[in-house]
C-alpha cells in the first residue's frame, strides 16, 4: 500500500460523511474541498485569528491549510483523529510558521469587532471593558497556553485531541491548561473582574 493512501480499515473509524469527504478530496474532487471548507471554515478562521491576531493573516493561514489538504494531506489523513482536530493541527502548524517569520505580529487583536449587543450604552461599555481586560489577560499568556485554552474551550477539543494538535503529551496539555486558567483567573481578579462576568 502506498504510504500516502488511507487504508480502508483506517477510514472505517470515521463517520460515513467524513470518510466520504476525505476520500473524495484524496481522489482530487474539488467540490469535496469546498464542502470541507463550508463545514469547518469558520472554526478554522476563528482559531487562525486567535493565533495570529490579524484577519488577513488568518485568511492566509486557512488558505494554506486547505492547500495542504488538497496537495496530499487528505491522502495522509489518519482516521483515528476527528477531522476537525486534524484540520486545527494544520492551522496551528501554519500559523506558527507564519509567526516565526513575523515575530512582531500581535497574537490577539483587542480591536476586533465585537458582537452587536442589545443592552444599553452603559452595559455595552462595561462589556467592552471586560472584553479588553480578558484580552489583556490572554495576551499575558504564552502562545502555548493561549493555544490550549482556544482548543479546549473555544473549539471544544478533548485533551487528547489538543495534544495531537500541539504535538505534545496529554500531560503537557493538562499542565498548560491548568497554568493558563490560573494565570488568567489571577489577571482578571487583579483587574476586579469575575470569571462569570466575561463568560
- The string of DSSP letters for 7-38 reads PHHHHTTS-HHHHHHHHHHHTT-HHHHHHHHH
Considering only 108-117, 127-136, 180-189, which range has the smallest mean pLDDT? 108-117
Answer yes or no: are the C-beta atoms of 82 and 161 closer than 8 Å: yes
Residue that wins the pLDDT comparison between 82 and 43: 43
Average of pLDDT values for 75-95? 85
Helix (H, G, I), strand (E, B), or coil: what is residue 118? coil
108 pLDDT exceeds 60? no
**Residue whose C-alpha cell is 496530499:** 72
Q: Residue 131 — pLDDT band, cuts 50, 70, 90? A: low
C-alpha 167/C-alpha 197 separation (Å) is 33
Give the global pTM.
0.65
- In this predicted structure, what is the pLDDT of residue 110? 38
- Lookup: cell for 192: 476586579
64 pLDDT exceeds 90? yes
Domains defined along the chain, listed by start = 1-107 (1.10.1740.10), 111-199 (1.10.10.10)
Considering only 30-39, 80-89, 101-110, which range has the smallest mean pLDDT? 101-110
If you average pLDDT over every residue of the chain, what do you get?
Answer: 77
**Residue whose C-alpha cell is 510558521:** 97
Concatenated DSSP letters for 123-185?
Answer: HHHHHHHHHHHHHHHHHTS-HHHHHHHIIIIIS---HHHHHHHHTS-HHHHHHHHHHHHHHHH
Amino acid at each position: 500500500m502506498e504510504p500516502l493512501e488511507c487504508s480502508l480499515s483506517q477510514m472505517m473509524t470515521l463517520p460515513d460523511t467524513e470518510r466520504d469527504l476525505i476520500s473524495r478530496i484524496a481522489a482530487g474532487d474539488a467540490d469535496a474541498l469546498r464542502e470541507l471548507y463550508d463545514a469547518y471554515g469558520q472554526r478554522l478562521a476563528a482559531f487562525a485569528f486567535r493565533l495570529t491576531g490579524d484577519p488577513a493573516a488568518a485568511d492566509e493561514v486557512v488558505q494554506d491549510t486547505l492547500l495542504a489538504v488538497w496537495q496530499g494531506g487528505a491522502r495522509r489523513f489518519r482516521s483515528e483523529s476527528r477531522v476537525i482536530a486534524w484540520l486545527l493541527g494544520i492551522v496551528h502548524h501554519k500559523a506558527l510558521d507564519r509567526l516565526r517569520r513575523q515575530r512582531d505580529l500581535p497574537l490577539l487583536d483587542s480591536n476586533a469587532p465585537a458582537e452587536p449587543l442589545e443592552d444599553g450604552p452603559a452595559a455595552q461599555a462595561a462589556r467592552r471593558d471586560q472584553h479588553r481586560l480578558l484580552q489583556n489577560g490572554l495576551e499575558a499568556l504564552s502562545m502555548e497556553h493561549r493555544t490550549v485554552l482556544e482548543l479546549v474551550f473555544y473549539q471544544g477539543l478533548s485533551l487528547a485531541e489538543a495534544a495531537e494538535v500541539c504535538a505534545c503529551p496529554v500531560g503537557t496539555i493538562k499542565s498548560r491548561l491548568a497554568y493558563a486558567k490560573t494565570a488568567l483567573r489571577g489577571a482578571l481578579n487583579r483587574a476586579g473582574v469575575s470569571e462569570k462576568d466575561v463568560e
